[in-house]
Structure 1
């Protein structure tokens, strides 16, 4: 494919992805109220449990509108994830051989539900993180949570969990593509656990151990699960290579 046609295809895929995100954002605009109520619910619960003044504060004149736009865009990106991930695959696919296309299609098929699982776990962790962090408010004190800060906090939390859950799929992809042997992953398991806990501490926007363990624990399990899945594909590839080498020797 000529460079100009390649750039045209890239532009078209970007446009298609942007249209998908825009459609998702329109949906996000109409479901903003229930989404914001869900985000605010743990804060209201924390205020009732601690008998303290804890509330979301819209400091600026346009903060409420800005918050609605950001929430709508965030919902749009999450809802349209299968669509824009497909556009990425459709752009790369023409340059791949049949075997590589099969790997990338499998990668997307596994990455989407794992990303959703990470988002779901973040949704479970979010109320606990709010309860723990607001619990440090001194008795008699008030906690006015800036709306922009709250949005940044939730976006970091949800995206961190979603992206972290996709990494094991990358491991399997690299092993099945023959770029990394599973014994390499196994040899470095100690370092992997250390790195996972460091990454969990850095990616999660809260300093509490509960949130960090909620991310690190499943990531460790997924790490070893990915090694097991990668090993199955590696065994099949090794058998095919051995059979091909035997056929060549007999010939």
Structure 2
């Protein structure tokens, strides 16, 4: 496929992915009040409209949204976040469908299983972010002095919640992306294993930046699953490379031929017949 066709295919996949997100966003916007209430629920001891003090949460109170356009902006942000989460099977499928034409037929079956695992991974990351919201807010509010009350704006908290949900969900897609690159022949398992120092350091830095709280527990709860998923991806890529190596040593091609791949040619030389005489034509 020429470059223009690849770009056209990428454009079509992006349009379908964005369309699915927009459709899910429109549906979520119809229930944005219930969604905001669901996101506010993990707040520890912060009752809307009045300051509340507890020994666990410190002193905090949830105040209303300021500004004329803030309610609309907040509803849009929450709806888009829910749209990304709900439409994750569609845009993950579009990503897989863009890569799969470059794979062998047998490899497509394996990557289809990866696609089936990619959606639960994204949802698991989003669910973990939601479960960490009480711990995150409790740690951040604990820095409030005893003589003060932390008036927490609702839009600030919802910005934090939506950002954590999306970032955690995307971070859990690391093994899915690495295995797509491995099955596509872009990276090998040896390369992935050789990156382990940089990958673990990058995962730790990412976990520190993605979790706004300063406690090591939240960082560890994000970094440990991502690191484990990276090791699992390396193990699957190593098995895939060994399978390809065995097929090549046996004279195979690593899988069935691609749809657009030419079959192997027999280049064994054959004896040629001696040339016949040339008849000269005279005028």
TM-score above 0.5: yes
- Shifted more, 217-226 versus 173-182: the winner is 173-182
- Residues 32 and 103 of structure 1: CA distance in aligned 2, closer, same or farther (over 3 Å): same
Contact 1:57-1:144 within 8 A present in 2 as well: no
TM-score when normalising by structure 1:
0.82
In angstroms, what is the RMSD of aligned CA positions? Answer: 2.9
Alignment of 1:232-247 (within 5 A): 232-244=239-251
1:39 aligns to what? Answer: 39
Cα deviation, residue 2, structure 1: 7.7
Instruction: Please give the alpha-carbon distance, in whole angstroms, between the structure 2 residues aligned to 1:37 and 1:228.
Output: 42
Instruction: Please give the alpha-carbon distance, in whole angstroms, between the structure 1 residues aligned to 2:249 and 2:132.
Output: 48
Instruction: Please give the alpha-carbon distance, in whole angstroms, between the structure 1 residues aligned to 2:35 and 2:42.
Output: 12
1:23 aligns to what? Answer: 23
Instruction: Please give the alpha-carbon distance, in whole angstroms, between the structure 2 residues aligned to 1:8 and 1:176.
Output: 23
Contact 2:103-2:183 within 8 A present in 1 as well: no
2:237 aligns to what? Answer: 230
1:217 aligns to what? Answer: 224
- Structure 2: stretches of 5+ with no match in the other structure: 47-51, 253-267, 269-283
Cα deviation, residue 244, structure 1: 1.1
2:174 aligns to what? Answer: 167
- Residues 233 and 132 of structure 1: CA distance in aligned 2, closer, same or farther (over 3 Å): same
1:182 aligns to what? Answer: 189
Instruction: Please give the alpha-carbon distance, in whole angstroms, between the structure 1 residues aligned to 2:107 and 2:4.
Output: 24
Contact 2:121-2:169 within 8 A present in 1 as well: yes
- Residues 222 and 10 of structure 1: CA distance in aligned 2, closer, same or farther (over 3 Å): closer
- Residues 218 and 9 of structure 1: CA distance in aligned 2, closer, same or farther (over 3 Å): closer
1:49 aligns to what? Answer: 54
Alignment pair present for 1:199 and 2:206: yes
Instruction: Please give the alpha-carbon distance, in whole angstroms, between the structure 2 residues aligned to 1:185 and 1:9.
Output: 28
SS of the equivalent of 1:144 reads strand
TM-score when normalising by structure 2:
0.74
Instruction: Please give the alpha-carbon distance, in whole angstroms, between the structure 1 residues aligned to 2:102 and 2:185.
Output: 18
1:144 aligns to what? Answer: 151
Say how many residue pairs are matched: 246
Contact 1:160-1:203 within 8 A present in 2 as well: yes
Contact 1:25-1:72 within 8 A present in 2 as well: yes
Instruction: Please give the alpha-carbon distance, in whole angstroms, between the structure 1 residues aligned to 2:74 and 2:163.
Output: 15
Instruction: Please give the alpha-carbon distance, in whole angstroms, between the structure 2 residues aligned to 1:67 and 1:4.
Output: 39
Cα deviation, residue 117, structure 1: 1.2
SS of the equivalent of 1:45 reads coil
Instruction: Please give the alpha-carbon distance, in whole angstroms, between the structure 2 residues aligned to 1:187 and 1:7.
Output: 32
Compare the two structures and name the one with the higher helix fraction. Answer: 1
